Amino acid sequence: MLTTNWRELLLTTLLRLFQRLRLERLFHVDWLVNPTGATYRFTDYFKGLEKVEAVKQIFGEKTIEVLQNLKVKFTYIGGYMWIDPRDGSLVVSTRYLNEGDKTGIYLDLVHELVHIRQLMEGKKLFPAEYDYVDRPTEIEAYQHAVHEARRLGLNDQQICEYLKTEWMSNEDLRKLAKSLDVKCT
Ligand SMILES: [Zn+2]
């Protein structure tokens, strides 16, 4: 087991707190997330996704157009990746990109691209009336990721590991897994 350093511990605590207080908005404080404010073309960093069936299922005939117009921002703060709903860009932790599990990163991309479509449909990504694991927008995004995970050959236990994040309680994980019909033991 890796030693948790103070920075990781702090970020984990913050993530948990933000989640509990539903303050996702805090992630969008620009100076904190992305000091340079630089945005990049998604397709310059994530190549070939337009050929992926799971992605084509999200956007249909608009797949190429959507991916070409998608912007990405990189952040040094922790976490994984999420959507900035103000400009519809994808925000990615460089650390996660460099050190994260590649399959997990790929499944997260599928998940986040579902949120991109939801934004295009005018849906609210952070409806205050729901907890994270109960949000219809999250369940839909996870359904796509889980479907793709199964196609890749991951079993339920592996998918369960994928769903588990440090800011999700065991109860939340069980709830989410149940909604997704994934058996976590
Ligand atoms: Zn999500």
Is pLDDT of 56 > 60?
Answer: yes
C-alpha 114 – ligand 1 centre gap (Å): 8
Q: Which of 55, 45, 17 is CA-nearest to residue 145?
A: 55
Q: Which of 99, 113, 97 is CA-nearest to residue 148?
A: 113
Protein residues with C-beta less than 5 angstroms from the ion ligand 1: 138, 141
CA distances from residue 137 to 65, 118, 119, 146 in whole angstroms, order as listed: 22, 7, 10, 14
The whole-angstrom separation of Cα 155 and Cα 172 is: 20
Q: Residue 144 gets which letter from DSSP? A: H
C-alpha 26 – ligand 1 centre gap (Å): 16
C-alpha 63 – ligand 1 centre gap (Å): 19
C-alpha 139 – ligand 1 centre gap (Å): 8
Summary mean pLDDT of the chain: 87
How many C-beta atoms lie closer than 10 Å to residue 111's C-beta?
A: 22
For the entire predicted model, the pTM comes to 0.84
Which residue has 């058996």 as its token pair? 183
* pLDDT single digits (tens) 84-113: 888 899 999 999 999 999 999 999 999 999
Alpha helix (H) residue ranges in 22-169: 30-33, 42-45, 53-59, 63-69, 94-99, 102-120, 136-151, 156-163
Evaluate whether 115 touches 122 at the Cβ level (below 8 Å). no
* pLDDT single digits (tens) 135-172: 999 999 999 999 999 999 999 999 999 999 888 889 99
